[in-house]
Structure 1
Amino acid sequence: MKLKYTSTGNRYERKKEETRQKIIDVAMKLFYKQGFASTTLEQIAEEADIARKTLYNHFPVKEDIIIEYLHRFITERAPEIEQLIKEYSDIRSRLVIVLSRILEWTSQLMTKDIFRIYVSYHVQKILTATFDEILRSGAHSFVVKIIKLGQESGEIRRDLPLEIMISQADNIRVSAGMNFLMDPDKFDAQDYITKSVDLFLGGARDVPDRNR
Structure 2
Amino acid sequence: MKSTHDAPGRRERKLRQMMEHIAGTAATLFESLSYESVTMERIAEEADVAKRTLYNHFPTKEAVLAYWIDAELKRDLASLQSSIARCRTFRSRITCVLRASADWCEKHPDHLMAYLRHRLLGAGTRGPQEARSDSSDIALVWQQLIAGGQQTGEISKESPADQLATWFHHLYLGALLRWLHTPGLSLEGEFRSITKLFIEGAAAKRSSTAAH
Deviation at 1:7, TM superposition (A): 5.8
With over 3 angstroms needed to count, the CA separation of the structure-2 counterparts of 1:204 and 1:135, relative to structure 1, is farther
- Structure 1: state its 5+ residue gaps: none
State, as a whole percentage, how many aligned pairs show the same letter. Answer: 26
* Match for residue 115 of structure 1 among 107, 112, 120: 112
Partner of 1:205: 203
Partner of 2:185: 187
Partner Cα distance (1:107, 1:80) in 2:
19
Contact 1:150 1:156 in 2 (8 A): yes
Bigger drift between 135-144 and 40-49 goes to: 135-144
Partner of 2:14: 15
Partner Cα distance (2:142, 2:133) in 1:
9
Q: 1:94-109, aligned counterparts within 5 Å? A: 94-108=93-107
Give 4+ residue runs of structure 1 displaced > 6 Å after superposition: none
Q: TM-score, normalized by length of structure 1?
A: 0.82
Output one character per residue of 1:37-77: Cα deviation in whole Å (capped at 9) or x when no partner. Answer: 33222222222121222111211111111111111112112
Partner Cα distance (1:20, 1:128) in 2:
19
Deviation at 1:211, TM superposition (A): 11
Contact 2:90 2:154 in 1 (8 A): yes
Deviation at 1:5, TM superposition (A): 2.1
Partner Cα distance (2:175, 2:8) in 1:
42
SS in 2 for 1:5: coil
Partner of 1:48: 47
Deviation at 1:4, TM superposition (A): 4.0
Contact 1:26 1:44 in 2 (8 A): yes
Q: 1:100-179, aligned counterparts within 5 Å? A: 100-108=99-107, 110=108, 112-126=109-123, 128=125, 136=134, 137-179=136-178
* Paired positions, count: 205
SS in 2 for 1:156: coil
SS in 1 for 2:4: helix
Contact 2:154 2:204 in 1 (8 A): yes
Q: TM-score, normalized by length of structure 2?
A: 0.82
SS in 2 for 1:77: helix
Partner Cα distance (1:20, 1:140) in 2:
22
Partner Cα distance (1:9, 1:200) in 2:
42
Partner Cα distance (1:135, 1:171) in 2:
20
Q: Which has more helix, going by share of residues?
A: 1
Contact 1:84 1:97 in 2 (8 A): yes
- Structure 2: state its 5+ residue gaps: none
Partner Cα distance (1:176, 1:20) in 2:
30
Deviation at 1:141, TM superposition (A): 2.3
Bigger drift between 62-71 and 8-17 goes to: 8-17
